């Protein structure tokens, strides 16, 4: 009883002082501000009332405390929104459900910051509402930042490059389109044209018509429309009248259209006909039993003017979030109290605005933290906020208007991108499952405007009569490629011009172009500077002999190359006469040296293998040396008279004769070429030898060769000499470095081939050291570059490209045979495999031979040998000397094979011949040789 008296006393004091009370109140006041007459407002009003009823009837939320909501109509007016918000601030409101419009949100969020009253907006999608600037603004719906990301993903998925944005020109429209521009730019896409419309509800038909006519004259056919409902339907109506809802156009509408489709299903037939084939974004809400039950409940509400849409679900959940946060606030001991704002009190005393009636919610910051910490499940799924205060797991449905209704073609979420599977089904234990995302189809088939399933190209050439400004170099040399027709200002001819014209004629649409000459006509212009003029807007493209190189591809897009190109070195050459020593030229010095050493090595190996068994390889030392030399070099002509007896010797000889056969054949062919074919020589062998020298190098004015030589090859600028014409090329090469000319010229192959066709005194030396091509340049992501690339490929396939080449560049004045100078000498690298095989065979044969000798050395000696060894000194040094003598004796021993197959050995000079048999002449020579052997 006493406690009740204290509570009544506190309540009485609160009424007396009028501005605060402690403890858990019986009633908590909340406000709601939105536009009552809008499609969103009509359903949001009922949804908020239903949510308040559910809170007040739920014994588990705010036990003993009731919600009391007061609603105000802002009519999406910033002024009215501010006035109605001021009224709320006089009623001790702890939170506001709303506002609905971005304009109102920007106005009253500043007030909420000062008075610490949280705003839970269920419909403001403006991505600019930053939590840093507006900490008390809480978005319970999804930000347009994600919606525009979804639209950018669709544009990128279909391969389109440019879009047109139609938007309402207020905070909602401008900020949404700015987010779209950022998301497109991150994918190298862009908004070509932004068409802003007046935000007034009174739709101006003439304004819309003029805007659509401007869009018709532009190239892109992808139109994103981000407006309010009535304005959007007015745009579609006029677009239908102008034929912009037919083939070739793509319309992507933001969620304003899906809200109308859900609320007024089906739409009136006259409106439905104007939006056939449109792609529409709709905030995704997962299917759940709570959502289904609420839909059933909505149908039973007799005064519901419209069907339920997504924003009604967000409005309902906003109330539930605030109720859940207040419940936690009270359970944590929070008190609802208000105090006067010191600055407002000062202002109130100086006028009649009654500003001192507005109070500050003392515990507003605590309640804000409880709201942001909410983690419950609502009609729209998980009610939880990310660190940036956005809803977690943002996702959108992508629907297609077709026939009398809509069909869903896919989904978009920030973790899985585009998919035909609902985003929540891709989560496994709270984490996204990306394995399915990478393999599943992105979107289902779309029925596009004009009732076609064929994906629109996304752009057409503008029919506004504006010609493309195409830059063309005004060349003073090699005019076969590009040249200005004399007496004209914008007419050109040449190989490049014919290729471009033929490619444009293959396009399925007309491309009016105007050639604009670039250069002073006195020297070739800088092609890099000409390409850079595309980025500045001076040219819409560049046509000519423009090389596709790295620094240019970074700023523009090139078509498919229509001519191969690359840098080569051109140098003078001289004819080589055969001369008296021409027979030495087939091999270089190293080849001669290695070949001679191999002859000697093989001769020594064969002598070692044959010495014990073959009488022809025995005898006095002088005779054996002559035998080795004779046998070695006579194999060159296969004229050796010594026969080989041992198996190892024959094996080595067969392999060596095969090597000699290859060497002889190569030598003969090379020598024949030297003596019968005109030989050319140049001191410069290619770009590497040119870099090592200090001689001047010529290049063509305007060519990228200068950049490559200076920056890539690090050649000093003092060595580089700019040359403008083929005549200057010829004179500089003829004069040479000693007379102020150049040692060589570096230029692109097409120019060089044309130059050499009439200057036969010079040749290409070395190999082409860069690979590139010529193409037509256009701005980045230009669809014209893609279509022209396809046309160039078609020209190459049907032979027209080759015919154009032959027309302009086929010259017969001087053939280009033997154009590239290369060394005619044979090098060791061409034969090292043969020498390796022969060397391995020799080493293996020697290894097997010495293994046989060692085995014989360690066989049991005869009795006489043992007796002799016992008579000798028995110290270790004597034993080693005896074994070495025996090894050398075995090496020099004459080995014979008797008829029975038993071997008989004889140490020359140590045992007399007691058999009395008659020796052959070869054996007598052997005895005379061994009689002076120092080993005996």
Burial class of residue 197, CB neighbours in 10 A (0-12, 13-18, 19+): buried
Count of Cβ atoms closer than 10 Å to residue 376 Cβ: 13
Q: In Å, what is the CA distance from 903 to each residue of 890, 898, 911?
A: 13, 7, 16
The per-residue pLDDT for 310 is 94
Q: So what's the pLDDT on residue 914? A: 35
Between 891 and 239, where is the model more confident? Answer: 239
- Cβ(607)–Cβ(649) below 8 Å: no
Share of the chain above pLDDT 90, in %: 46
Q: Is the pLDDT of residue 686 over 60?
A: yes
Strand partners, 514: 469
Residue pLDDT, tens place only, 561-615 = 999 999 999 988 766 555 666 667 677 788 888 888 888 888 788 877 777 777 6
Is-contact 74 34, C-beta < 8 A?
A: yes
Confidence of residue 898 (pLDDT cuts 50, 70, 90): very low
- The three-class DSSP label of residue 908 is coil
Least confident of 66-80, 526-540, 817-831: 817-831
Tokens of 456: 């629109």
Cβ partners under 8 Å of residue 296, min gap 6: none
Paired tokens of 602: 């093989």
Q: Which residue has the tokens 């000499």?
A: 721
Asked if the model's pLDDT at residue 36 lies above 50, the reply is yes
pLDDT for res 653: 79
User: Stretch 280-290: mean pLDDT, rounded?
Assistant: 95
Can you read off the two tokens belonging to residue 394? 């943002």
At 114, list the tokens: 């000062």
Residue 760 structure tokens:
């036969």
Contact 835, 777 (CB under 8 A): no
Dihedral of the CA atoms 145, 146, 150, 156 (nearest 10)?
Answer: 50
Enumerate residues 6+ apart whose C-beta is below 8 A from 225: 166, 167, 232, 235, 236, 251, 252, 253, 254, 257
Q: Does residue 622 register a pLDDT over 80?
A: no
The pLDDT value recorded for residue 415 is 86
Write the pLDDT tens digit of every residue in 109-149: 988 998 899 999 999 999 998 888 999 999 999 999 999 99
**CB atoms inside a 10 Å sphere around CB 240:** 17
For the purposes of burial, counting CB atoms within 10 Å of the CB of 4, is it exposed (0-12), middle (13-18) or buried (19 or more)?
A: exposed
Q: Is the pLDDT of residue 543 over 90?
A: yes
- How far is the CA of 22 from the CAs of 334, 335, 337, in angstroms? 9, 5, 7
Closest CA to 35 of 75, 64, 86, 85: 75
Length of the chain: 936
Determine the pLDDT at residue 9: 37
CB atoms within 10 A of CB 471: 25
68-74: average pLDDT: 91
Of the listed ranges 297-301, 346-350, 391-395, 423-427, the one predicted with least confidence: 346-350
Are 575 and 760 spatial neighbours (Cβ–Cβ below 8 Å)?
no
pLDDT of amino acid 436: 54
Residue, of 426 and 811, whose pLDDT is higher: 426
Predicted pLDDT of residue 96? 93
- Please say if the pLDDT value at position 12 is more than 80: no
Residue 607 region by backbone torsions, left for phi larger than 0, else alpha for psi between -120 and 50, else beta: alpha
Q: How many CB atoms lie within 10 A of CB 97?
A: 29
pLDDT tens by residue, 783-839: 889 899 999 999 999 999 999 999 998 865 454 444 444 445 566 777 777 778 888
Q: Which of 73-77, 198-202, 684-688, 691-695 has the lowest mean pLDDT?
A: 198-202
220: DSSP letter: B
Please calculate the CA angle 305-309-312 and round it to the nearest 5 degrees.
85
* Rounded average pLDDT over 624-650: 74
pTM of the complete model: 0.68
Give the CA angle between residues 694, 698, 700 to the nearest 5°.
155
CA gap 170, 125 in Å, rounded: 13
Question: Rounded to whole angstroms, how far apart are CA atoms 92 and 115?
Answer: 10
Q: Where are any strands of DSSP class E within 578-714?
A: 679-681, 697-700
pLDDT bracket for residue 925 (50, 70, 90):
very low
User: What is the rounded distance in angstroms from the CA atom of residue 402 to the CA atom of residue 154?
Assistant: 18
Comparing 349-363, 637-651, 812-826, the range with the smallest average pLDDT is: 812-826
d(CA 429, CA 262): 32
Look at residue 610 in the predicted model and tell me its pLDDT: 77
Reading across the β-sheet that carries 250-253, which strands appear in turn? 190-197, 162-168, 222-226, 250-253, 279-283, 395-402, 405-413, 417-419
Instruction: Kindly indicate the confidence band of residue 511, based on its pLDDT and cuts at 50, 70 and 90.
Output: confident
**What's the Cα-to-Cα distance from 495 to each of 484, 518, 810, rounded to whole Å?**
12, 17, 11
| Separation of alpha carbons 91 and 87, rounded Å | 7
**pLDDT, averaged across the chain:** 82
**What digits encode the pLDDT tens for the residues 305-354?**
888 999 999 999 999 999 999 999 999 988 888 887 665 555 555 555 55
CA distance 649 to 635: 14
Is residue 768 within 8 A of residue 563, CB to CB? The reply is no
Query: Which element (helix H / strand E) includes 768?
Result: none
**Cβ atoms of 330 and 69 closer than 8 Å:** no
Assign 896 a pLDDT band (cuts: 50, 70, 90). Answer: low
Residues whose CB is less than 8 angstroms from the CB of residue 765 and which lie 6 or more positions away in sequence, other chains included: 569, 570, 571, 573, 682, 684, 685, 686, 744, 820, 821
CA dist., res. 679 & res. 671, Å (int): 12
Least confident piece of the model among 9-18, 92-101, 253-262: 9-18
Residue 437's pLDDT is: 54
Instruction: Return the DSSP state at 706.
Output: H
pLDDT (0 to 100) of residue 6 = 44
Distance (Å, whole) CA 270 – CA 260: 14
Q: How far is 454 from 869, CA to CA, in rounded Å?
A: 107
Task: Annotate 564-574 with b (16+ C-beta within 10 A) or e (fewer).
Answer: ebbbbbbbbbe
Q: Which residue has the higher pLDDT, 321 or 403?
A: 321
Work out the percent of the chain whose per-residue pLDDT is above 70. 80
Does residue 366 have a pLDDT over 90? yes
| Cis peptide bond upstream of 621, omega within 30 | no
Cβ distance 103 to 81 under 8 Å? yes
CA-to-CA distance for 291 and 286, rounded, in angstroms?
8
Say yes or no to pLDDT of 257 above 50: yes
What per-residue confidence (pLDDT) applies to 158?
94
Nearest partner of 778 among 521, 452, 534, judged by Cα: 534
The DSSP secondary-structure symbol of 339 reads E
SS3 letters for 388-451?
Answer: CCCECCCEEEEEEEECCEEEEEEEEECCCEEECCCHHHHEECCEECHHHHCCCCCCCCCCECCC
pLDDT at 824: 53
Distance CA 472, CA 514 (A): 10
Q: Alpha-carbon torsion 1, 29, 361, 64, what sign? A: positive
Token match 């050319």: residue?
680
According to the model, what pLDDT value does residue 908 have? 39
pLDDT at 269 over 50: yes
Question: What pLDDT score does 803 carry?
Answer: 94
Give the Cα-Cα-Cα angle 102, 103, 107 (nearest 5 degrees). 110
More confident residue, 863 or 510: 510
* Strand, coil or helix: 488: coil
Comparison of pLDDT for 295 and 689, the residue scoring more: 295
Band of the pLDDT at 677, cuts 50, 70, 90?
Answer: low
Q: How far apart are CA 251 and CA 456, in angstroms?
A: 11
How far does Cα 396 stand from its chain's mean position? 28
pLDDT of residue 922 exceeding 60: no
């Amino acid at each position: 009883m006493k406690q009740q008296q204290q509570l009544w006393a506190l309540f009485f004091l609160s009424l007396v002082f009028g501005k605060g009370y402690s403890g858990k109140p019986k009633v908590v006041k909340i406000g709601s501000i939105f536009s009552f007459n809008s499609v969103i407002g009509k359903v949001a009003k009922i949804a908020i009332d239903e949510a308040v009823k559910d809170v007040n009837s739920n014994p588990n939320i705010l036990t003993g405390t009731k919600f009391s909501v007061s609603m105000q109509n802002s009519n999406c007016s910033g002024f009215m929104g501010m006035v109605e918000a001021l009224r709320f601030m006089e009623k001790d409101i702890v939170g506001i459900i709303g506002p609905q419009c971005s304009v109102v949100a920007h106005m009253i969020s500043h007030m909420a910051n000062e008075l610490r009253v949280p705003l839970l907006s269920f419909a403001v999608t403006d991505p600019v509402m930053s939590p840093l600037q507006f900490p008390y603004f809480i978005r319970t719906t999804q930000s347009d930042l994600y919606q525009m990301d979804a639209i950018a993903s669709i544009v990128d998925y279909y391969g389109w490059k440019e879009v047109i944005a139609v938007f309402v020109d207020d905070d909602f429209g401008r900020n949404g389109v700015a987010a779209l521009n950022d998301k497109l730019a991150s994918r190298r896409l862009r908004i070509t044209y932004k068409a802003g419309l007046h935000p007034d509800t009174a739709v101006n038909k003439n304004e819309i018509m003029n805007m659509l006519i401007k869009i018709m004259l532009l190239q892109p056919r992808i139109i994103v429309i981000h407006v309010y409902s009535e304005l959007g339907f007015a745009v579609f109506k006029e677009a239908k009248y102008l034929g912009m809802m037919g083939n070739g156009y793509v319309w992507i509408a933001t969620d304003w259209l899906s809200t109308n489709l859900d609320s007024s299903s089906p739409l009136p037939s006259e409106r439905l006909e104007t939006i056939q084939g449109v792609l529409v974004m709709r905030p995704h809400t997962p299917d759940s039993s709570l959502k289904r039950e609420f839909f059933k409940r909505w149908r039973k509400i007799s005064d519901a003017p419209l069907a339920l849409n997504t924003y009604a679900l967000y409005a309902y959940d906003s109330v539930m979030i605030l109720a859940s946060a207040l419940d936690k606030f009270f359970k944590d001991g929070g008190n609802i109290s208000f105090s006067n704002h010191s600055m407002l009190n000062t202002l109130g005393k100086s006028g009649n605005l009654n500003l001192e009636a507005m109070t500050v919610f003392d515990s507003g910051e605590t309640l804000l933290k409880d709201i942001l910490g909410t983690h419950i499940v609502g009609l729209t799924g998980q009610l939880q906020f990310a660190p940036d205060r956005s809803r977690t797991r943002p996702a959108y449905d992508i629907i297609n208007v077709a026939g009398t209704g809509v069909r869903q073609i896919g989904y978009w979420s920030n973790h899985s991108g585009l998919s035909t599977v609902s985003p929540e089904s891709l989560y496994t234990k709270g984490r996204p499952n990306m394995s399915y995302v990478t393999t599943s189809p992105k979107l289902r088939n779309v029925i596009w405007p004009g009732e076609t399933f064929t994906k629109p190209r996304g752009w057409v050439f503008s029919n506004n009569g504006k010609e493309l400004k195409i830059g063309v170099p005004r060349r003073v040399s090699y005019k076969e490629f590009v040249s200005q027709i004399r007496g004209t200002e914008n007419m050109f001819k040449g190989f490049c011009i014919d290729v471009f014209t033929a490619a444009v004629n293959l396009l399925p649409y007309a491309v009016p172009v105007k050639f604009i000459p670039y250069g002073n006509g006195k020297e070739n212009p800088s092609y890099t500077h000409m390409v850079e003029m595309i980025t500045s807007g001076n040219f819409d493209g560049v046509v000519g002999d423009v090389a596709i190189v790295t620094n240019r591809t970074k700023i523009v897009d090139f078509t498919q190359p229509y001519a191969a190109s690359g840098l080569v070195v051109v140098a003078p050459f001289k004819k080589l006469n055969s001369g008296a020593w021409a027979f030495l030229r087939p091999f270089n010095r190293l080849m001669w040296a290695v070949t001679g050493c191999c002859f000697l090595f093989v001769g020594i190996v064969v002598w070692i293998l044959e010495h014990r068994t073959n009488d022809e390889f025995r005898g006095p030392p002088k005779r054996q040396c002559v035998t080795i030399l004779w046998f070695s070099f006579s194999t060159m002509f296969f004229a050796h008279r010594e026969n080989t007896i041992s198996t190892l010797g024959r094996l080595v000889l067969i392999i060596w004769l095969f090597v000699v056969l290859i060497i002889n054949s190569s030598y003969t062919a090379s020598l024949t070429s030297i003596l019968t074919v005109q030989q050319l020589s140049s001191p410069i062998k290619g770009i590497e030898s040119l870099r090592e020298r200090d001689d001047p190098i010529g290049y063509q004015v305007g060519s990228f060769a200068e950049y490559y030589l200076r920056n890539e090859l690090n050649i000093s600028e003092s060595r580089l000499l700019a040359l403008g014409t083929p005549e200057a090329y010829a004179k500089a090469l003829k004069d040479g470095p000693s007379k102020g000319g150049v040692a060589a010229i570096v230029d692109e192959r097409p120019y060089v081939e044309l130059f050499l066709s009439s200057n036969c005194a010079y040749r290409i030396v070395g190999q082409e050291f860069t690979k590139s091509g010529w193409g037509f340049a256009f701005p980045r992501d230009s669809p014209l570059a893609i279509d022209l690339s396809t046309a160039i490929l078609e020209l190459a396939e049907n032979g027209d490209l080759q015919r154009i080449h032959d027309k302009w560049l086929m010259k017969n004045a001087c053939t280009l045979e033997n154009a590239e100078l290369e060394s005619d000498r044979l090098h060791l690298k061409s034969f090292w495999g043969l020498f390796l095989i022969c060397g391995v065979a020799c080493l293996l044969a020697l290894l097997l031979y010495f293994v046989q000798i060692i085995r014989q050395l360690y066989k049991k000696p005869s009795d006489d040998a043992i007796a002799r060894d016992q008579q000798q000194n028995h110290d270790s040094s004597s034993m080693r000397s005896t074994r070495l003598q025996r090894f050398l004796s075995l090496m020099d021993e004459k080995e014979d094979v008797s008829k029975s197959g038993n071997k008989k050995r004889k140490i020359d000079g140590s045992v007399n011949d007691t058999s009395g048999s008659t020796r052959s002449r070869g054996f007598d020579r052997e005895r005379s040789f061994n009689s002076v052997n120092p080993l005996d």
